Structure 1
Amino acid sequence: MAGPSVGAAAASPETAAYRADQGPAPFRGRPRGPFRKDIEGLRALAVLLVVLWHADAPLVSGGFVGVDVFFVISGYLITRGMVAEVAERGRLSLLGFYARRAKRLLPSATVVLLAALILTYLFLPDIRWRETTGDVVSSALYFVNWRLADRAVDYLAAEQAPSIVQHYWSLAVEEQFYVIWPVLLAGLAWCAFRSSTKRRGFEALAVGLVALVGLASLAWSVQLVETDPGRAYFVSTTRVWELAVGALLALLPLRPAGTWAAALGWSGMAAVVGSAVLLDTAAPFPGMLAIPVTVGTALVIVAGRATRYGPVVLLGLPPMQFLGGISYTLYLWHWPLLVALTARVDDPGVTARAVVVALSILLAYLTSRIVERPVWHSPGLSVQPRVAIAVGLACTVVAVQAGMIFRLATAPQAEGAQVLWGGPGAAVLDAGATEAAVPVDRSPIVVPDPSVARDDLPTVYLDECHASQAETRVRRCVYGASAPATTVVLIGDSHAAQWLPALQSIAERRADWKVITYTKSSCPYLDIEVADDDGKPYRSCVTWNQGVRAAVAEDRPDLIVTSSFNYSAYRDGRVLKGLDNESALVESMRRTWLDLARVAPVVVLRDTPAPRIDIADCVSGNRDRLTKCAVPRDEALAGIGQLQAKATRGAEGLHLVDLTDAICPADRCAAVIGSVLVYRDTNHLTATYARTLAGRLEQRLPLAAR
């Protein structure tokens, strides 16, 4: 999923740190400051927005903005502490800083990572186990946000269920900030205190640096959210400016009072709550839309405790103070528990979600009391920063090792379940025995095993012949005979690519076929522009199509095969819908394919039925209830197939081949036919099942190609 829909806000790992360690100098850090009820309550508001959003509560469709609140608070508190230390001592102890972070963050984070592995084993289908281990390891090492950014733009992973530790992404952003920002401030302090300017020079240099970095990050955020929104949501570079806003608050003497402070504070609260209510996962976020919540949070912090009529009246209430005190651990716990719930219950109601949220609060409180606070306030760790760092490193090692052990322990069930047997698949239907495709609860064996079905791909992916959504370069691969009697060209998107195993099987059997592939993710071979996943013009597809047309002409094929998934045309600055879209697509299909027919006969493979549920994931979790993964045939057929049939009707040189009767011949589309898993995700055939369709496909090709 691109954008906020695949994200999760995280409670700031730093925002509880304004009660400084009371160990002896120099490890004590900064002098104790006055307790900020407003910040404690602001943390509670942020974590409430996130938890309620994840629990599908009404009126908080933009609850993901809670992460932005935490980023601003973290930037403020982390910088305030370091500035106070520099003012007091003329330098910044990096060893002390990292020791405080290690003992503050890592114990609780490690406990929940270990719990996530247990929940994965108990509740999640085994298809998710392998991916989870990598997510746990990258979370423990605090680079999971970059891993998720890559996944967000990975077409093959776009519709997979979210990771049980996906919420660690924002912790990773903050940790990366914590690695770099103290080093920069320490360098500025060293430069300033070597000159006569000292503290004033240090703060001036820091303000300039923060402003420069923040503006650059904001500009990049605005740019990337337009061109690559999935990646923009997760990467650190688009979020640094929000931390920088908080850092500026700590560096600038902004202290409004009285009515003015109250007005600023309530304006800030309105901006935060308004963003949570008005935004949703379709919003291009962060970018410009993150400015209101970021500035709003800053205004609440600036207002502070300056007046009893300000937001502190609300934020200082006992329930808000309680939730603020456990916001870090509450954030850690709530998401894994919700993922475990939704993995076992198809549509959990309000009651079930409320129970999970209540359980999250209980576990958060216990973790805070038993793990977080004892380690954070340990006198021994306060005296010895090296010991605190060692404890943090030990936590990281434990989490990484646990992930690796989990991978090894579960590998025999996941990867070992794949057997070297192709299964009859669609062959069981050759005699017209459609009852063999009626959904049943059990199959003696399923090939490929659903736990590894994601890897059952056409060879164009392994051979790096399938162009990504961002690419315009035409990738060409050749399979089959070197001196063929028949040359077949396969063109289109991933729904065209899924037919390659069947064409390869025909080529192997005939020994005189050569198959050439030109495929690209989410890009149909049409002469009109279509919209991409974000509703914007898919310009790289237009360029790619132009290159493919020239390449096909040079190949001089005997047969051209194409297919595609459903798309929306983009015309005159808007996405076409309804009948306008259908008309535009049919006209373009007919025009484009007739143009291809001047080169060679064209076979249009009617698009396969689309279950629109993750079949591999469903079968993985319901091996004894396969009927739960069956979907109504009429729903699965509600796609582009009818338009393809209309576009080819009566056109000379165009041949529609419809193999729906070998994929979903019954009233409900079965997940497993002839012991073969039909789909690897929500709409793509497994390579194994496509291969079992080779005989039927060959029979329905134009006579000249048989």
Structure 2
Amino acid sequence: MLWSAFVPETDPPIPIKAGPARPATSCPVNPAETEHMRLTNAEPTATPSGGAPIREPAGAPAPRDQAPSARPSHWRPDIEGLRALAVGAVIAAHIGFFHSEGGFIGVDVFFVISGFLITSLLLREIDRTGRVSIAGFYARRAVRLLPAATVVLAATLAAAWAWLPRTRLPDIATDAAAAALNVLNIRLAREDTDYLNADATPSPLQHFWSLAVEEQFYLAWPLLLLAIALAARRIWGGRFARAGHLRRRRTAAIAVVLAAIGIASFWCSVTRSGPDPTWSYFGIHTRAWELAAGAGVALAAGRLRRLPARAAAPLSWAGLGLIAASLAVIDERTTFPGAAAALPVAGTALVIAAGCAPHRFGATALLGIAPAQYIGKLSYGLYLWHWPLLMIGPAALGIDHPRLRDRLMLMAAAFLLSVATFHLVEHPIRTRRALVRVPSRALAMGGGLITAALAMSILASLQPMPAATQEEAAEVTGNDATVWELLDDSSDVDTVPANLTPSLEDAELDTPASYDDGCQVGRDDSEVNEDCWYGDPDGERTVVLFGDSHAAQWFPALNQNAEAAGWRLLVMTKSNCSVPQVATYDPYLKREYTECAVWKDGVYELLDEVRPDAVVAAAYDRKEILADDPQRAWVEGWAESVERLGETGADVYYLADTPDAGFNVPECLASNPRDASECVGDLDEAVVDPARREATVEAVTAAGATAVDPIPWICDTDGGACPVIVGDLLVYRDANHLSARFVAELAPQLAAAIPLDPEAQ
């Protein structure tokens, strides 16, 4: 799963003052030094609280006039080159370029850069004025980030409306609102840990998550620095304080706070990335230490500037080597961020730290080349544009399965859009004097842009679903027309009926009632929920539904049959947790699914106490098996599980897996409302590994289970097709789960295959 992004070029502005020439690698640390340098090529905007221009101390040289586009003499080409390296790594990973799986570490490179640059600006302001202008800080952020981001949000919403299935528009609109409010990382963490969204297509706006992390960090960091600065002045200031005493004490206090933040966040990253990978990947709590690492370099800049050249140059190459090594050794299976993130973070910090000291023959020789400098300048726009183009571009071009050359073409378009955005939006706005010199105007502009983005999101979410016809299909009731009777003719359905149930808009929410009751255990939970009883509460016999979400999908039919027969139904299901006794890899946890094994052990202990009369076991066949011979391990694992279930005294039923559509069916129908047959699947392609399926049936039968094949209830076996609409029923709610409404109509078929005898009470 590619969840990587980057932090853009940070705050534009501080005035450049005349002074003695210094090497291009100098690093600001005190009032005398910081006034000779800035870290971006944008027009100055730093102002104290209240928005009035900064008054220079008596005797200070007058500000030097400089064109907004001119590059300052103390430019950091190594940082600009690092930006190019980071955004290039991210894009390479996203397009599937050769050996670029670890490119998502570009986000970590940018976090360190951001921490360094912004903290340098804040420390400089504290040294000049003794405080931090909170209004000025957020005004600079608004001017730098919001214009381009709003343009991309608007363009993405418009493109999604034009070319993506309409079923996706409400979610994308919500993502746009979350991006505008800088909480998209929280939304993505919540959605990705939700079993209802396990098969969801990535959002074209999900790359905004890292911007949200950065802004959340900067909600607190300037306020902390301001509090420390004011407290330090009160405690250690005064007219009789020794020269430099206040600055040293203030720096020490900042260092203590920064170390506390970094250590706590790094501890969370190391300890939580394994058990809670999604929240750890997107969360500020496990990423703050990366920004703190950059801030630490800024705080130590005075000492770093005194590094001898013979040490600085090798350190910069060593840092670049660590970044390159992280690209080589980290991939999607790496527990991340965790301790692994220390590799790119340390590498980036070393490059930046070494660049604070004057030296020759360092990594700037590579990072400072003209192409890297230009890409670094465009890095923010490149990042903003590349992901929406990758997610929407193929649909706009009519490409079902984009190849590398197609993605490279889309990245060329992203480059052109980035150039246009920089010259037409970013640079003109961030250098406009009416905005950059008066924070209130910049903040008003930022508020207006956020409001506009929210308004566009609301408008997009209200767009109606396109209707192909007003005609209604025959209603499937189980009495007048059964699924069985309509199935053979359902592959030829031309249009989506007006009375489709569930509707395309509500398809993903059409889940079994056991989900709402908390009886579908989440991935990161290994506790057994013993309160999941359904059916006839007064029944004397018990049937158990056991397995993963492909077992849970049978709840509506099995619950009907249990109620009719007077049996109790105990639901024991867990997301992605297969029944076979075999180790599996979970792509969302990005590691072995140990919670599944622990949970199954708990289920077996409970069943030993319950002593059920029947167990219905089912599981999704598409699993990544951790074994030398995955096929054999899967088959033997099923047989072992059947034997273990048989030890409870129950009759065991193996309910074979349902056909896999291989694509999101509601989205396909939304894109083809007048030609629903385009979404009909081929039976041979819908069965996951037919040979293994047949071997599993033989193994579980030999182990004492009754094998049940549901494919004839769902697909036209004579015609070799699996319809997606039967009568007025939508068959699939996503790519591989049957809709609850459709399964409810299969109760008669399930009752015939798995009889719950009411006379056996």
* Aligned equivalent of 2:668: 618
Query: Which structure carries more helix by proportion?
Result: 1
Among 337, 340, 362, the residue aligned to 2:389: 337
**Contact 2:683 2:720 (C-alpha < 8 Å) held by counterparts:** yes
Among 506, 509, 518, the residue aligned to 1:464: 518
**Contact 2:472 2:497 (C-alpha < 8 Å) held by counterparts:** no
* Aligned equivalent of 1:9: 5
Query: What is the distance in 1 between the residues matched to 2:624 and 2:185?
Result: 33
**Contact 2:101 2:331 (C-alpha < 8 Å) held by counterparts:** yes
* Aligned equivalent of 2:373: 321
**Contact 1:109 1:332 (C-alpha < 8 Å) held by counterparts:** yes
Query: What is the distance in 2 between the residues matched to 1:24 and 1:190?
Result: 19
**1:91-490 superposed matches below 5 A:** 91-194=131-234, 195=236, 196=241, 197-252=245-300, 253-255=303-305, 256-304=307-355, 306-343=358-395, 344-410=398-464, 423=476, 430=484, 435-436=488-489, 438=491, 442-444=495-497, 446-471=500-525, 472-484=527-539, 487-490=542-545
Map Cα deviations across residues 19-49 of structure 1 (whole Å, 9 max, x no partner). 4643584356899882222212221221122
Q: Aligned in 2, Cα 1:169/1:692: closer, same or farther, shift over 3 Å? A: same
**Which letter does structure 1 place at the counterpart of 2:109?**
V
Query: What is the distance in 2 between the residues matched to 1:417 and 1:182?
Result: 58
SS of 1:114's equivalent in the other structure is: helix
Query: What is the distance in 2 between the residues matched to 1:569 and 1:366?
Result: 44
**Which letter does structure 2 place at the counterpart of 1:387?**
R
SS of 1:430's equivalent in the other structure is: helix
Question: Are 1:500 and 2:559 an aligned pair?
Answer: no
Question: Are 1:699 and 2:752 an aligned pair?
Answer: yes
Query: What is the distance in 2 between the residues matched to 1:502 and 1:688?
Result: 9
Identical columns (%): 37
**Which letter does structure 1 place at the counterpart of 2:257?**
L
1:76 Cα offset (Å) = 0.3
Map Cα deviations across residues 489-514 of structure 1 (whole Å, 9 max, x no partner). 32322111100111234456x47454
Structure 1 stretch displaced more, 98-107 or 696-705: 696-705
SS of 1:186's equivalent in the other structure is: helix
SS of 1:133's equivalent in the other structure is: helix
1:147 Cα offset (Å) = 1.2
SS of 1:62's equivalent in the other structure is: helix
Structure 1 stretch displaced more, 129-138 or 382-391: 382-391
**Contact 1:451 1:620 (C-alpha < 8 Å) held by counterparts:** no
Q: Aligned in 2, Cα 1:602/1:614: closer, same or farther, shift over 3 Å? A: same
**Contact 1:418 1:448 (C-alpha < 8 Å) held by counterparts:** no
* Aligned equivalent of 2:22: none
Structure 1 stretch displaced more, 497-506 or 548-557: 548-557
Cα RMSD between the aligned structures? Answer: 3.2
Query: What is the distance in 1 between the residues matched to 2:471 and 2:137?
Result: 49
TM-score of the superposition, structure 1-length normalised? Answer: 0.89
**Contact 1:417 1:449 (C-alpha < 8 Å) held by counterparts:** no
**Contact 2:47 2:136 (C-alpha < 8 Å) held by counterparts:** no
**Which letter does structure 1 place at the counterpart of 2:161?**
Y
Is there any run of 5+ residues in structure 1 with no aligned partner, and where?
none
**Contact 1:568 1:577 (C-alpha < 8 Å) held by counterparts:** no
Among 530, 544, 548, the residue aligned to 2:599: 544
Query: What is the distance in 2 between the residues matched to 1:9 and 1:629?
Result: 33
1:368 Cα offset (Å) = 1.9
Q: Aligned in 2, Cα 1:42/1:290: closer, same or farther, shift over 3 Å? A: same
* Aligned equivalent of 1:591: 643
**Which letter does structure 1 place at the counterpart of 2:732?**
Y
**Which letter does structure 2 place at the counterpart of 1:636?**
A
Q: Aligned in 2, Cα 1:287/1:174: closer, same or farther, shift over 3 Å? A: same
Map Cα deviations across residues 260-303 of structure 1 (whole Å, 9 max, x no partner). 32222222222223322443222222122212211111122123
**Which letter does structure 1 place at the counterpart of 2:617?**
T
**Which letter does structure 2 place at the counterpart of 1:604?**
Y
**Which letter does structure 1 place at the counterpart of 2:658?**
T
TM-score of the superposition, structure 2-length normalised? Answer: 0.83
Query: What is the distance in 2 between the residues matched to 1:265 and 1:500?
Result: 60
**Contact 2:621 2:688 (C-alpha < 8 Å) held by counterparts:** no
**Contact 2:725 2:731 (C-alpha < 8 Å) held by counterparts:** yes
Query: What is the distance in 1 between the residues matched to 2:100 and 2:601?
Result: 44
**Which letter does structure 2 place at the counterpart of 1:672?**
I
Map Cα deviations across residues 311-369 of structure 1 (whole Å, 9 max, x no partner). 22232222222221121122111111111024452222334322321221222222222
**Which letter does structure 2 place at the counterpart of 1:10?**
F
**Contact 2:567 2:756 (C-alpha < 8 Å) held by counterparts:** no
Query: What is the distance in 1 between the residues matched to 2:743 and 2:359?
Result: 69
SS of 1:518's equivalent in the other structure is: strand
Q: Which has the larger radius of gyration?
A: 2
Query: What is the distance in 2 between the residues matched to 1:569 and 1:6?
Result: 18
**Which letter does structure 1 place at the counterpart of 2:247?**
R
Query: What is the distance in 1 between the residues matched to 2:322 and 2:470?
Result: 53
* Aligned equivalent of 2:655: 605
**Contact 1:229 1:284 (C-alpha < 8 Å) held by counterparts:** yes
